[in-house]
Amino acid sequence: MPNLFSPIKIKSIEFKNRIVVSPMCEYSSTDGFADNWHLVHLGARAVGGAGLIITEATAVSPEGRISFADLGIWKDEHIAKLKEITSFIEEQGAYAGVQLAHAGRKASHQQPWNGGKQIQPDEENGWLSVAPSALAFSRSETAPLELDKAGINKVIADFKAAADRSLKAGFKVIELHGAHGYLINEFLSPYCNKRTDEYGGSFENRSRFLLEVIDAVNEVWSADLPLFVRLSTTDWTEGAWTIEDSIALAKVLSEKGVDLIDSSTGGNVAGAQIPLKPGYQVEFAEAIKKHTNILTGAVGLITEAKQANQIIETGQADMVMMARELLRDPHFPLRAAHELGIDFKWPVQYERAKW
């Protein structure tokens, strides 16, 4: 029976355990560049024992950023520092993943500690956001520009170019960000996709954009390396995206070569009522795993070693994606192994320190 510290092999990559550092926006970049903050932030979690460390949402274009301070991978100059970070992570016996993202209508915002409000296109550090339909996220925000076919093709090309740079930067996993009300999620959900062309209306049409992104990414991404997709598996709103939709989509994604669904929820509907409690999203990972052939990652208020281990032992998910607990304690994996009495492969730095 697998446990939290059992290795898991996905395509050519064997992760030493099932603990994943979930993407966490840092809002600490200038012009999309990673810097020493990102090296220390991500590297510390590799030293702490996690098997896979995924970057924050990494924008495939400048206009695809949530804020002007987001990490990016839209130009070749971004590669060098990212390569330094991925190399360090692998030196610790872990692997590095990148979450490729486009913020859609939730772009052009202030950093959270500066209020997080939308910045208007005519203001400093602001630009006009784009989306499937010209519908603002909330009443207080400006409506985005509706993408035409040329705009859609540009975004798809941006994802493809970003995937190619990701390979050159040494990432071993790509996760496509299709959750939390960002562009891919916006296309999927009938709540905010009101298009009448081939990208709107039916489930098949609303899924088309994501599938075309995947096809483009697969043209340059190695067939031997894992490809994940993060989904908001429900919008928590009647008439919007549902877990049944997610299960249907996961079956299609499996046929497209996607290896794992990172099963999150929410973020697409302003004011949605979400029943927060420990492990509140695990049931959605379990449902997708039960009804499809695809691997799943569980997320959402997972904070304790026994809780995380139980998710794996009971087969609710194949990996546990953790964020806030790993912010509080970068060495959670080491502590968890001790609490559970499980021996596992230590980070390289600790192996060197043994005497």
Model pLDDT, residue 107? 98
Report strand pairing: 13-15 vs 145-146: unpaired
179 φ, ψ (degrees, to nearest 5): -130, 180
d(CA 53, CA 43): 9
Q: Going residue by residue through the chain (355 aa), what tens digit of pLDDT does each one get?
A: 689 999 999 999 999 999 999 999 999 999 999 999 999 999 999 999 999 999 999 999 999 999 999 999 999 999 999 999 999 999 999 999 999 999 999 999 999 999 999 999 999 999 999 999 999 999 999 999 999 999 999 999 999 999 999 999 999 999 999 999 999 999 999 999 999 999 999 999 999 999 999 999 999 999 999 999 999 999 999 999 999 999 999 999 999 999 999 999 999 999 999 999 999 999 999 999 999 989 999 999 999 999 999 999 999 999 999 999 999 999 999 999 999 998 776 676 665 555 4
d(CA 84, CA 225): 20
Identified catalytic residue from 27, 182, 191, 199: 182
Max Cα distance, the chain (Å): 67
Model pLDDT, residue 185? 98
Model pLDDT, residue 348? 66
The full length of the chain comes to: 355
Report strand pairing: 52-59 vs 95-101: parallel
Residue given tokens 């395509």 in the structure block: 11
Pair 97, 52: CB distance under 8 Å: yes
d(CA 52, CA 45): 9
- Containing H/E element for 107? none
Instruction: Respond yes or no: is residue 350 known to be catalytic.
Output: no
Q: Domain locations in the chain? A: 8-353
pTM tops 0.85: yes
From the list 332, 340, 338, 275, the residue with the least C-alpha distance to 312 is 340
Q: Where are the alpha helices (DSSP H) in 21-172?
A: 36-47, 79-91, 149-168
User: Which option is the CATH number for 8-353: 1.10.260.40, 3.20.20.70, 3.50.40.10, 3.30.750.24?
Assistant: 3.20.20.70
d(CA 137, CA 141): 7
Number of other residues whose CB lies within 10 A of the CB of residue 60: 29
Model pLDDT, residue 355? 41
